[in-house]
Structure 1
Amino acid sequence: MRRLGSVQQKIACVFLTEVKEEESRKRDYQPFQVVATETVNPIALEANIDCALATEKLDGTCCYVTLYKGQPYLWARLDRKPNKQAEKRFKKYQHMHRSCKGFSWNIEDFKTVPEPWIPAHKVKHQNGHPVPDEHGHIPGWVPVEKDNKQYCWHSSVVDYEVGTAVVLRPSADDKEVLEIVAAPLADLMEQTLELIGTNVNGNPYGLGSKKQPVHFLVSHGSVRIRNPPPVDFQQLCAWFQESPEGRVEGIVWHCDNGTLIKIHRHHLGLRWPDGETSLSEKPAVVHVDGTVDEYNNSKDLFASLSALNGQCFSRLQDVRFDL
C-alpha cells in the first residue's frame, strides 16, 4: 500500500499562484488574495502528479500523533510566530525589497511557546535553533493535555487512560460508507490528522450541535476521491462546481515520492462552503464498542458514541445525541 505523506509543512499549490490586490475570500480583513494561474507548478510536474493519489482536503485543524511522557499523544498545531517588533521589521523589509529573501532573523525575535513544543519535521536549523519559513513562522506542535481549555475540542476526541481516539474513516467493507471508531492511539503513531467538527472552522460539515458538540479525527489522505479530474485549470473549476464529488474544500495529491500538492476552492475564486458537502452527505456507521465500565467515566463523546454502537445513519451530519 502506498505510504501517504505527513502534513508537517505548508503544501504547494498545484498551479503557480499570484497575489491580487482584492479582499480575500478566505480570511476576513485580508486586503489581498492568492489565486491560481493556469500554469501547472513545476514541483507538481517533477513529482509526477498525474500518477498521484487524489484525496479530499478537509477543513479543520491539523494534528499529529507522537510520543509524549512515554505514551502516544495527540499534538495540536502551533506555529511559533515573530513578536510585534520583528513582524514590523519583516514587513518593512518585504515592502522595500518586494521579497523576503535575505531577511535575517534572531532567536529572540519569536514569541515564547510552551516548554514541550517541538518544531515540525523538515524545519531547518541553524546554530541549533529552528529557522522560520518564508512567512516568518516556525511550524510546530504542542501536546494536547486534558486540562488545557485552549485545546478542549482536541481533548474531547482522545482518552489517554484507555489509549484511544475518535476517528472517522472509510469503512473497510465499503469505501463510500464512513465509520466512526475508537482507534488505538498507538495505531496512529507518526500520522497527521485533521480535527473536524462542531467548533472547528465554522463547522462546514454540519456536525453535532451547540448542546451536543461532535468532533472527529480524520487521517490525512484517508478520504480518497474516486474519479478525480485531470490537473487542468478549466476541468478542475468545472469539477468543483458541477460534480457531486467536487463539493469539497479542495484536493490533496499524494505523490509517489512523498510530495504533497494541493488545490482549494479559494485558489480558483470559488466559495467554500457552498451548500451541502460531499463528506457530510455520506452514510456513516458507529463502531465504538467500548464496555460500559470502560467509558462510563470517560469523555462525553466516547460515552455517547458507545451508546450508538452499531447504528447506521444515512448521512454523517445526522449523527447526533440530542434527539
Structure 2
Amino acid sequence: MRRLGSVQQKVPCVFLTEVRNEPSRKRDCQQFQVVATENVNPAALESDIHCAVATEKIDGTCCYVTTYKGEPYLWARLDRKPTKQADKRFKKHQYLQKTCKGFVWNVDEDFREVPESWIAAHRVQHENGHPVPDEHGHIPGWVPVDHTNKQYCWHTSVVNYDSAVALVLKTHGEDEGLLEIVSIPLADLMEQTLELIGTNVNGNPYGLGSKKYPVHVLVPHGVLRIRNPPPVDFQQLYSWFQECQEGRVEGIVWHCDDGTLIKIHRHHLGLKWPVGDSFLNTRPVVVHVDEKPDPDASEKDLFKSFSSINGKLFSCIQDIQFEP
C-alpha cells in the first residue's frame, strides 16, 4: 500500500464554496458559514479526483512526526494566528467581500508570537525569509510535543520517548474490516501526519474512554479507506452521508495520485456532526500492545493500560475501558 499524502496545509473542498450570512454549524462564535455549491472545484479535477483514493476524515487534532534534537518526535499542530485586532479586520473583509482573497497582512505586526521551536508547515510560502499567511489568515506550523508542557498532555500520553514508540489505531494487516491498536516505532512514522483522537480531544465525538480513565490514540491520515465511495457529485454525496452506514463519518479526504488532498466535510453540505453511532464505532478492534512500561509509571499510563489488555478483541473502540 503506498503511503498517502500528509496534511500540511489547509485542504480545499471538493466543491467550490460560498459564504452565507448565517451562523456557522461548525464554529459557535462565527456568524457566517462556508457551504459547498454543486460545482466541482477545478483544482480537484486537475488532480484527477475521480481516480483518487477516498479515505475517512477523522475528527481530532493534527500531529506530525519528524526529527527534533536528532530524534524522531511527535509535533502538535500550532498555526500562527492573527492578533484579535488583525483578525477583526480580516473577518470584516471576508464578510463584506464574500471572500478571503485580497486582504493585505502586515506579518510583522498582525500575528501572535510562537515558541522558538515552532516550524512552518511544508509548502508555506515565504517572503524575505519569513513565512506568510495562507488565504485563510493562518500560517500553518508545528511545535514539538514535550512532556514538560501540560498543554500537550494528551499528545504525550500516546508517545513513549524512552522506547521511541507511539500508540496507533490502524486497519489490521490481514483484514481491512478489523481495526487494531498497536505500538509503532516513531522512526516508522517519520514525515507522516496523524490525527490524535480521544476522550479529551474535540469534544470526543467517538465516545472514547472516560474522565477517570481517558483513552487516546493516533490515527495515520489516509489509513481508513472508504470501501465503496460515492461518486464526486453533490447529490450523491449528500445521500451517501445521510443514508449509508459508511457515510456516518465527519467527511471524506481524497488522496490524489499527484499528492494533492481534497476534502468534503458534512458541514459543507449543511449536515450535522457529530452523529450517534459513527462508522468508526461499527468496526471491531484488537489490541496488540506489549510494551514493558516503567514500573514507576502511573496507573493511567496508556502504554501500561493497553499492555494489560494485549490480545483482547472488542466490538468497537468505544468499548475499550480501563476501569478495574
TM-score bracket relative to the smaller structure: over 0.9
The Cα shift of 1:174 comes to 0.7
Q: Secondary structure at the match of 1:285?
A: strand
Quick one: which amino acid aligns to residue 76 of structure 1? A
My pick for the range that moved more, 240-249 or 83-92, is: 83-92
Q: Secondary structure at the match of 1:75?
A: strand
Deviations 1:12-43 (A, max 9, x none): 10011111111111111211111111111111
Quick one: which amino acid aligns to residue 296 of structure 1? P
| Structure 2 counterpart of 1:2 | 2
Contact 2:107 2:132 in 1 (8 A): no
Quick one: which amino acid aligns to residue 303 of structure 2? F
Return closer, same or farther for 1:158/1:96 CA change in 2, 3 Å cut-off. same
In structure 2, how many angstroms separate the alpha carbons of the residues matched to 1:157 and 1:45? 38
Q: Secondary structure at the match of 2:17?
A: strand
My pick for the range that moved more, 103-112 or 175-184, is: 103-112
| Structure 2 counterpart of 1:11 | 11
| Structure 1 counterpart of 2:60 | 60
In structure 1, how many angstroms separate the alpha carbons of the residues matched to 2:287 and 2:98? 52
The Cα shift of 1:255 comes to 0.3
Contact 2:64 2:75 in 1 (8 A): yes
The Cα shift of 1:274 comes to 1.7
What's the % identity of the aligned pairs? 69
Deviations 1:55-88 (A, max 9, x none): 0000000000000111111000001112233334
Return closer, same or farther for 1:157/1:234 CA change in 2, 3 Å cut-off. same
- Show structure 2 runs of 5+ residues with no match: none
In structure 1, how many angstroms separate the alpha carbons of the residues matched to 2:200 and 2:92? 36
The Cα shift of 1:103 comes to 1.1
In structure 2, how many angstroms separate the alpha carbons of the residues matched to 1:241 and 1:109? 41
Contact 2:90 2:103 in 1 (8 A): no
Q: CA RMSD in A?
A: 1.5
Contact 1:169 1:179 in 2 (8 A): yes
The Cα shift of 1:315 comes to 1.3
In structure 1, how many angstroms separate the alpha carbons of the residues matched to 2:267 and 2:94? 24
| Count of residue correspondences | 321
Deviations 1:140-193 (A, max 9, x none): 000000111111101110110110100000000111111001110000000000
Quick one: which amino acid aligns to residue 281 of structure 1? T
In structure 2, how many angstroms separate the alpha carbons of the residues matched to 1:123 and 1:170? 31
Moved over 6 A (4+): none
| Structure 2 counterpart of 1:120 | 121
Note if 1:296 corresponds to 2:295. Answer: yes
The Cα shift of 1:92 comes to 5.1
In structure 1, how many angstroms separate the alpha carbons of the residues matched to 2:123 and 2:29? 31
The Cα shift of 1:251 comes to 0.2
Note if 1:86 corresponds to 2:64. Answer: no
Quick one: which amino acid aligns to residue 60 of structure 2? G
The Cα shift of 1:2 comes to 2.9
| Structure 2 counterpart of 1:207 | 208
In structure 2, how many angstroms separate the alpha carbons of the residues matched to 1:78 and 1:117? 8
TM-score, normalised to structure 2, is 0.95
